[in-house]
Amino acid sequence: MRVLITGGAGFIGSHLADLYVAKGDHVTILDNFSTGSKENIAHLSGKITTQDGDIRNVDLVEKLTKEADLVLHMAAALGVNTILESPLESMSTNITGSEVVLNAAAKFNKRIIIASTSEIYGKNPKQPLSEGDDRVVGAPQKIRWTYSDAKAIEEAMATALHTQSKLPVTTVRLFNTVGPRQTGRYGMVVPRFVQAALKNEALTIYGDGTQSRVFCHVNDAVTAIATIAATDAIIGEVFNVGGSGEVSIKALAEKVIATTESQSLITYTSYSDAYPAGFEDIQRRVPDISKIKHSIGWAPTKNLEAIIKDIAGI
Ligand SMILES: NC(=O)c1ccc[n+]([C@@H]2O[C@H](COP(=O)([O-])OP(=O)(O)OC[C@H]3O[C@@H](n4cnc5c(N)ncnc54)[C@H](O)[C@@H]3O)[C@@H](O)[C@H]2O)c1
């Protein structure tokens, strides 16, 4: 099988490339290396085809899509810092770029999986969050919500193309996904904490640390994506993909320090000091993963301690 992975030099995309190469499939990566890196895929040199390019390049995306049997659309602008610092470029990639990729898949009638996000649900206080739950987001002028809005538009385009043109698309809403190769540069909390702990530097919590998340190991997430991609019965559906075991950010920091046997201390800083204007945090975000469990029998396998050890390389 020939698999096209947009954003394949990124964190999740490169793990997907590993999975499909291991299965003996031919993988082509399309990436502009904005947040992705050559190091993420260096070990696959000679085993994959790499195309340095942008998902907004219609001719290039159509050419690569035509050659593929399966498209995994992972390319996006993400990370709180990226979204707040480059809002227009981020919206362009996430809206226009996704439209180009979806239209190409529709034109050549290719199976496609799109990576959406738990950010879709915004600040909906209902927990755990199920696929049919409402989006509750702030005003458009609060720029952090543009990532959620863009992904919602992408999902809506996918649904419309499925309805109107029978596009064989399935949407995965990834909750906090973590593991090796994820960079802390763009505001992701787990790599940021682990890197600080390994250097015995302070772990800085933004806010009071009572906000909570559920983390999923990237190996579990890519298994979910590949299983979904191989299951035609769930074309047109939307699935939460997330871990189990809610943890506060304060408890996460303590767990990282204990697991890495670090001398680090925990410090606190306000959101206004940590982020540019326009940031608003979400207090809790817990996935309801019963739909994917029942549909394809997937469940996360790695707990938080295993995840931290894997990221720390210990
Ligand atoms: N990591 C998470 O916790 C998480 C959670 C929810 C959703 N997601 C989604 O999963 C997907 C992969 O995320 P990730 O964590 O691997 O992030 P990442 O930043 O590591 O990967 C994104 C990749 O897309 C590439 N890219 C960005 N703009 C591009 C463009 N215009 N043209 C071509 N390539 C471009 C980047 O260079 C990078 O390699 C994204 O769609 C993201 O929104 C991730």
pLDDT tens-digit readout, 211-229: 999 999 999 999 999 999 9
The partner residues of 72 in beta bridges, in order of sequence, read 5, 113
Radius of gyration from C-alpha coordinates of the chain: 19
Going from the Cα of 77 to the center of ligand 1, the distance in angstroms, rounded, reads 6
> What's residue 74's pLDDT?
98
> What's residue 228's pLDDT?
98
> What's residue 187's pLDDT?
62
The order of strands in the sheet holding 169-174 is: 48-52, 26-31, 2-6, 70-73, 111-117, 169-174, 238-241
Of the candidates 99, 153, 121, 93, the residue with the CA atom closest to the CA atom of residue 242: 121
First to last CA, the chain: 35
Is residue 95 in contact with ligand 1, taking CB distance under 6 Å?
no
Stated pTM of the model: 0.96
The tokens for 213 are 């998340």
287-300 b/e (C-beta count within 10 Å ≥ 16 → b): bbbebbeeebebeb
Going from the Cα of 10 to the center of ligand 1, the distance in angstroms, rounded, reads 6
Q: Whose CA is nearest to atom 11 of ligand 1?
A: 74
- Least confidently predicted of 255-259, 267-271, 299-303: 267-271
Going from the Cα of 114 to the center of ligand 1, the distance in angstroms, rounded, reads 11
pLDDT in tens, 31-70: 999 999 999 999 999 999 999 999 999 999 999 999 999 9
Catalytic residue, from 20, 121, 147, 275: name it: 147
Has 271 been annotated as catalytic? no
Domains and CATH numbers, the chain: 2-179+216-243+287-301 (3.40.50.720)
